[in-house]
Amino acid sequence: MRKASDLEIETPITSMIDIVFLLIIFFVVTSTIQKEAIDRDLQLAKSQYTDPADLEGSKVIINVRPGPSITVGMQRLNLHNLKIMLRKLKNKETPIVIRADGGMTYREVDLVMAAVGESGMTRIRLAASAEN
Amino acid sequence: MSAMIDVVFLLLVYFILTFKIEPLEAHMTVNMPSPSTVPGQPPPVLLEVKILPDRYVLNGVGLTLDTVERTIDDLTRDDRSQTLIIKVGLNAKQHQLISLLDRCEKLDLENLNVLTLKY
């Protein structure tokens, strides 16, 4: 007969790994969605003299492709829905960054800028690529 | 223990594959007309640049970007807080506006107002 002290005491490591894995998947998925606020396929116009801005922080980033096709945080919006979304923002001082493709005509950018202005937002920024 | 190492290895591979360098971006601050329905008094215009598809127009004279920059530099040498009104034609390209804003940033101009020309 074996004594109790001979029994090996093991922590249940397999189930712990499962939980850790699930947690990591959760964090990876959520952080990826936040990063995609930027549409990387847009060809921004180049700037040479303006200092690079911090992409973090609270701001609304509006990606505009020719069309105009508007995306905010991976979500496609039309001008009407964009206005509704911006009107819901309580803080009208929230910076609005318009990332418009450099090759677009201003006619299309103007529609977006007018929509932002009509929503009562006051701080508008135009994005340019600061990479050399 | 080897199972955990496998998991960590998979995660490492995942993060390496999905790693992207944050792009460097400049964000240029501009003023927009307020959405008031009552047409107000137009402000006294000191400097006005029009952006047309093929050229920039400063005080009625068609110029290139470099000459516009030099002229604005001369005109605002005493007072960099002067208001600059940028009127953008509907057929002008976005990169023309960005280039002009970039040059204004170079000259430390802060009061940049963007309006739209309805033609």
* Chain A residues within 8 A of B18 when measuring between CB atoms: 32
For the beta carbon of residue A67, count every other beta carbon within 10 angstroms: 10
Least confident of A18-22, A128-132, B56-60: A18-22
CB contact under 8 A, B23 and A126: no
For an interface test with B, the pick among A10, A11, A34, A47 (most B C-beta atoms closer than 10 Å) comes out as: A47
Residue B37 has pLDDT above 60, yes or no: no
φ/ψ (deg, to 5) at A16: -65, -40
pLDDT of the residue at B40: 61
CATH number of B45-119: 3.30.420
pLDDT of the residue at A5: 58
- Of the candidates B32, B34, B105, the beta carbon closest to that of A113 is on B32
Residue pair A53/A30 in contact (Cβ under 8 Å)? The answer is no
Express each pLDDT in A35-85 by its tens digit: 677 888 888 998 888 888 877 777 889 999 988 899 998 888 899 999 999
Side chain identity, residue B35: P
Share of chain A above pLDDT 90, in %: 15
Alpha-helix residue ranges (DSSP H) falling in B1-119: 2-18, 65-75, 94-106
Q: How wide is the angle at C-alpha B86 spanned by C-alphas B59 and B69, nearest 5°?
A: 65
Q: Which two tokens stand for residue A18?
A: 């499962």
B44–A contact, CB cutoff 8 A: no
Over residues A22-36, the mean pLDDT reads: 70
Least confident of A55-59, A97-101, B65-69: A55-59
Residue A33 has pLDDT above 80, yes or no: no
Is the Cα dihedral B88, B74, B28, B31 positive or negative? negative
- Cβ neighbors of B49 (< 8 A, separation 6 or more) are B56, B57, B58, B68, B72, B84, B85, B86, B87, B100
pLDDT of the residue at A70: 92
pTM across the whole model: 0.75
Q: Where are the domains of chain B?
A: 45-119
Measured between CA atoms, the residue of chain B closest to residue A118 is B35
Over residues B34-45, the mean pLDDT reads: 61
Measured between CA atoms, the residue of chain B closest to residue A119 is B35
Alpha-helix residue ranges (DSSP H) falling in B19-56: none
Express each pLDDT in B95-118 by its tens digit: 999 999 999 988 888 888 888 887
